[in-house]
Structure 1
Amino acid sequence: MSLSILDLFKIGVGPSSSHTVGPMVAANRFLEALLQLGQLENTGQIRIELYGSLAMTGAGHATDTAVMLGLMGEKPDQLDPDQAPALINDVRNTGQLILAGQYPIPFVEDQHLHFLHGHSLAKHPNGMTLRAFDAAGLELFHDNYYSVGGGFVLNEEETEQTTSATDIQIPFPFNNAQDLLDIGDRTGLSIGEIVLENEQHLGRSDQIQPALLNIWQVMDHCINRGCEQTGVLPGGLNVNRRANQLHQELLNRPADQQDHLEVMDWVNLFAIAVNEENAVGGRVVTAPTNGAAGVIPAVLAYYDRFVPGSTESGIVTFLATAAAIGMLYKKNAS
């Protein structure tokens, strides 16, 4: 599989790329399948079955609400996280879900959404089954979906494929760090330039540099919002947000108490701000997972705010280089 930079850096919502973003993507794909089969408007009922890790920790990772939002046609990269609670409350208050944003169907969580604790699908621990029924209760379609990490989703058929039908030949394929170094020695290209050259052949975006700058803008907004917000993080542990107070302390720190390591306090702040936004289901960039979403923005914000002469070109180079490392993890990690 030839990975794109945009596969590694996905705009979505927290708190988990595997448990939140992936299930929402799976629900989107389920809607697409129903539409292609001509059964979307005939669907009178939906059943959601969550297995394995999605069942065991799904409630804490908002898997249930992510699937519901996905079935309403909301997409991870377009969802306004401030509006999501109202959408879910409407479903719970009315007992009705607007399928694909068009077709009202009855939906009561206890009846239509099931956490199957202690049960797993064979192909992956993050498994789920989505079923569509007509008004008489006859099944129209079902499929299994597996959230395999980083927001990537495979359906049952795709787990059986040994090669990717959409694999594209790129000029500089690499499978490990030595490959990258060898390509650089042979061509004179930097790691970032190697990735950007490959990107031109993948067709994910006609204008990859504006796409990467938009990713940075989402990261930057996430940092700023995380520094502004206060309150208690969800999850029942009564953990208070810290970024706002840390931000105020850094802004108000007397000049005579500053030292050359202060910049690290800012980097830590940036990472905490993003992580707290992720925890509350805010808009974040999967980089390369939601669990690690604070690291890349924090280092990039250091470059943008503290390195003299930082440029948009430098931001693009940073993200392309970071993507190369992420691709190695995606290809070689478990």
Structure 2
Amino acid sequence: MKTSFFKLPLLLVLFYWVFNIVFVVTYCVGFDDYFFISSDMTIYQIIIKFIEQILPNFFLQSPSSFVLFTTSTLILNKYAINQINQKNIINSLFIAALITLGDIVGRLYCYPYIYEWMQAGRQYLNLNIYFFFPNYITNLLKITIGYFFIVLLTCFSIKLFNKSYMHNDNALTQNESQQLHLGLFIALYNCYFLTALFALIFLYEDMYYSYYSFRKIIIDIVGLTVFLSVVNLLGYFLLRRCFTGVTETIAFKKLVFSSIGIFLLNLLLNCLLLIVLVIFSISLINYLKYWHKISDLEIIMICFMIVVILLISSCVLVRIAVKLLFGKMDKNYQNMSV
């Protein structure tokens, strides 16, 4: 039977979303006394209220989804579980239920104590609650703790159901290893980006909003989906021939540390480049205003050029770094194979 390295993890993520939706709907119907404001609500109004509850949960679970995908891909490949069949799909369904249940219990009972502990630590260190950096670090810690629960639950659940899965004994080929390394690298890069972004979003929400509006969450989901689709598609075509030096064994530690190092370096260089481009753009706009009235279209074109330059610089940096780290086969492995 043909093996597939990413279909089972993707199914696991899909089941994770479905069970989260089931939990939200069950909670709203059975435990939320304020969900049904009046008894004469129409079906359309009820559906809209359900969507307003489900979409924020879906949006907030997107970083955890990449962690779940990466962890499940690694663990399933470790146990040689790469076949799509009824038995493996049913096991993945049970595993998704366990992960979702554990994640919900952690969010309901563990996260409040963790949050209080972090707030007490900030007060002990006498950090200003309205200062940007401590708030950002606190949000990063909260998100990272959530990742820890997801990784722990995924490893435990797959190990628990390992004997129930149908395994394959075929060793990884060089081409399959390249595909796995490419997929894991892209997933990890998405995870780092969403972690940094969501820590900033939570900071912004805590300071200015007390709830998510329906319109805002739709705009956020659509914008994030389009952006990630374009960037991931571009990243796939840029990096698909860069993992030529990988071996049949997944170098996960190297993937994790190299990808986070490349991400941080890329973030630092882009911030510096952005500062330079903004200063140059302000000077250019002031210069153009001196000679003639600058139009809104010209300002939009300047902003668009800044985005294009940042995107090109990111692509070049990531491609060069990946080729340097994964483009040459390790000498020790090369000597062993000879």
**TM-score for both structures, normalised by structure 1:** 0.28
Q: Which of the two has greater strand per residue?
A: 1
Larger radius of gyration: 2
**TM-score for both structures, normalised by structure 2:** 0.28
